[in-house]
Amino acid sequence: MPTDCISYQNSGYFSTLMNDYLEEKSNLQSLYHHFPNLQNFGSQIQEKKANFNDTSRATLVSVLQKQYATVENSALTNQNIAALANSNTFTVTTGHQLNLFSGPLYFLYKIISTINLTTELKSKYPDSNFVPIYWMATEDHDFEEINYFNFKGKKFRWNKESTGPVGRLSTEGLADFLEVYALELGSSTNANTLKKLFEDSYLNHDNLADATRFLANALFSAYGLVILDADDQDLKRNFIPFVKEELLHQSSHKLVLETAEKLKDYTIQVNPREINLFYIEDNLRERIIFENNTYKVNHTKIEFSESEILSLLENHPEKFSPNVIMRPLYQEVILPNLCYIGGGGEIAYWLELKSFFAAAKITFPMLLLRNSVLLATEKQAKKADKLNLSWKDLFSKQADLVNTKTTEFSDFPIDLTHLKEQLQKQFSALYEVANKTDESFIGAVKAQEVKQIKGLENLEKRLLKAQKRKLSDILQRITDLQNELFPNQSLQERQTNFSEFYLENGDNIIPTLIEQLKPLDNKFDIIVL
């Protein structure tokens, strides 16, 4: 099977911003605190320890114990929850939307990166304890982003209306969804395990937050994962001073805009609002806006004076929901967190926030790009070998791959550059003659040169096309294999649900990933199952 390694930078699937961040380019260094390597965690531990309000630990543990009251979790998860009460315990956190049945594969990779990093930290810093946290994005309200998953090239969508925070959404109606999905799974032992996991997660829980907690716990409890739903009154009470600052002074807007200016040469991930908060109820999540000295809830008739909204904040902090700008601050206020692990888009918006954190006097976490993985079967790896394909070949854009392999498999050179160079030498001699006669002749020589070079280029294209027809069988096998590994010519991890691989590999899939993924290695893992 192919043995070459793929870095994030040469995979072709990461933004310029992420590539520059991974290479620690000097123009980005002011936008993060410590770059994520094992040695730098020592400084991060000391800074977070000195700057974290330990009195909030009791609230955090109490909330987690309440959320886990009806969940059958592992001794290690229970131990990790209890450990959070101690001042020498720190967290590593990843966050993810409540995608139906986990959504794309990278849900697994985020969590496994988090678990494995805590294991490395425990080995390096034995005097401290480290807990992996999955932060459920229960307060998001873009249901269209999470109400489906892909299985064997088919999209399974949950058709339902949703207007409020998705974590509070009723799971009613998913029994019909399971019936359709179950038909595709078949009746194998692994298929029946998946059906039961879906049923236990979604049909035996009333809302999407509880269902997702059950699912993630079933998959990762053995590794001590702690799952947090921060849509909680007690947790938000600790965030009241920061919400008040945002309501009265809107400081995040100015600070994030200033930082975004430093990223003007890149694609900016998010833009701040003047107030980066939502007002939420069970069926409502709308922006808070400030107009004519009045706080209004967008698209509603709800409004407050300054004194009224501050009173509401003190008495009902659960009605205030941080948006993408404020949520990271909320996370770092309530968790003794050292590092956030996310995808490229997430790390990009975190890079806009450092000055905002500094103004709030909250330690900025380390930012680590999650593991990325391509899963292949042994059969696919053998096919690649037989077709003389490296992993680098398979990561290429399909048009480039086909052209490269057509040239490689041809018995003669398709590239006519040598003939173009010979032609240009001949025309150099003609230019010498032209320079000695009438100027009009120079134009005629130039026009003829352009015409003949273009003619060779057209012949080159036709020759390539002819060879593609001649080699169509092997080229079709190459593109078929690439399409299997990169569905819709995109990364597998962004398209495919874990259940597709569970059907063939069963309970082995997560232990295999746990064993092989190294979160600090910064390489694209290719795992043959």
Per-domain residue ranges of the chain: 1-147+224-274+323-372+499-529, 380-498
Q: How far apart are CA 313 and CA 60, in angstroms?
A: 20
Q: For residue 435, what pLDDT is reported? A: 76
As a whole number, mean pLDDT of residues 379-399 equals: 95
For 472, the token pair is: 């169509």
Q: For residue 442, how many other CB atoms are within 10 A of its CB?
A: 15
Q: Report how far Cα 162 is from the mean position of its chain's Cα atoms.
A: 24
Calculate the average pLDDT of the chain. 93
Q: How far apart are CA 452 and CA 449, in angstroms?
A: 5
- Predicted pLDDT of residue 56: 96
Residue 91: strand pairing partners: 131, 337
- Mean pLDDT, residues 398-424 taken together: 79
Please say if the pLDDT value at position 454 is more than 90.
no
**Residue 412 above 80 pLDDT?**
no
**Predicted structure pTM score:** 0.92
Question: Residue 458: pLDDT band by 50, 70, 90 thresholds?
Answer: confident
The predicted model gives 467-496 an average pLDDT of 94
**Residue at token pair 């079933």:** 218
Instruction: For residue 182, give the nearest of 211, 156, 205 by alpha carbon.
Output: 156
Q: pLDDT, tens digit, for every residue of 118-163?
A: 999 999 999 999 999 999 999 999 999 999 999 999 999 999 999 9
Task: Name the band, by pLDDT with cuts 50, 70 and 90, for residue 470.
Answer: confident
Q: Where are the extended beta strands (E) located within 292-344?
A: 294-297, 303-304, 320-322, 337-342
**What is the reported pLDDT for 423?**
66
Nearest to 230 by CA among 360, 157, 337, 127: 337
Q: How far is CA 129 from the centre of its chain?
A: 26
CB under 8 A, 24+ apart: contacts of 59-67: 59/234, 59/235, 59/237, 59/238, 59/334, 60/84, 60/235, 60/334, 60/335, 61/85, 62/234, 63/228, 63/232, 63/234, 63/235, 64/226, 64/228, 67/213, 67/227, 67/228, 67/229, 67/232
pLDDT band of 524, cuts 50, 70, 90: very high
Report residue 419's pLDDT band, with 50, 70 and 90 as the boundaries: low
Least confident of 4-18, 274-288, 415-429, 500-514: 415-429
pLDDT for 242-298, tens place per residue?
Answer: 999 999 999 999 999 999 999 999 987 788 999 999 999 999 999 999 999 999 999
395-409: average pLDDT: 91
Cα–Cα distance, 172 to 217 (Å, whole number): 21
Q: Which residues contact 272 (CB under 8 A, 6 or more apart)?
A: 252, 253, 256, 257, 260, 325
The answer to whether 385 and 422 are in contact (CB under 8 A) is no
**Spatial distance between the Cα atoms of 95 and 107, rounded to a whole number of angstroms:** 9
- How does pLDDT run across 204-220, given as a tens digit for each residue? 999 999 999 999 999 99
Q: Is 337 exposed, middle or buried (0-12, 13-18, 19+ CB in 10 A)?
A: buried
Give 14's DSSP letter: S
Q: How confident is the model at residue 418 (pLDDT cuts 50, 70, 90)?
A: low
Distance between CA atoms of 211 and 318, rounded to whole angstroms?
21
pLDDT > 90: percent of the chain: 84
For residue 352, the model assigns a pLDDT of: 96
- Give the whole-angstrom CA distance, residue 166 versus residue 139: 6
Compute the distance between CA of residue 474 and CA of residue 472 in angstroms, rounded to an integer.
6
Query: How far apart, in Å, are the Cα atoms of 142 and each of 99, 167, 497?
Result: 11, 11, 20
pLDDT band at 187 (very low <50, low <70, confident <90, very high): very high
Q: Kindly list the distances between the CA atom of residue 160 and the CA atoms of 123, 163, 170, 177, 208, in Å, as whole numbers in the listed order.
A: 46, 10, 10, 11, 12
* Residue range 372-379: mean pLDDT, rounded: 96
How many Cβ atoms sit within 10 Å of the Cβ of residue 286?
19
**Mean pLDDT for the stretch of residues 2-7:** 82
What pLDDT, on a 0 to 100 scale, did the predictor assign at position 446?
79
pLDDT category, 447, cuts 50, 70, 90?
confident
- Give CA–CA dist 352/44, Å, rounded: 19
Q: How far apart are CA 516 and CA 524, in angstroms?
A: 12
Question: Over 70: is that where the pLDDT of 80 sits?
Answer: yes
DSSP E strands: which ranges in 146-276?
A: 148-151, 154-157, 226-229
Least-confidence region, from 163-172, 413-422, 481-490 = 413-422
- 529 has pLDDT over 90: yes
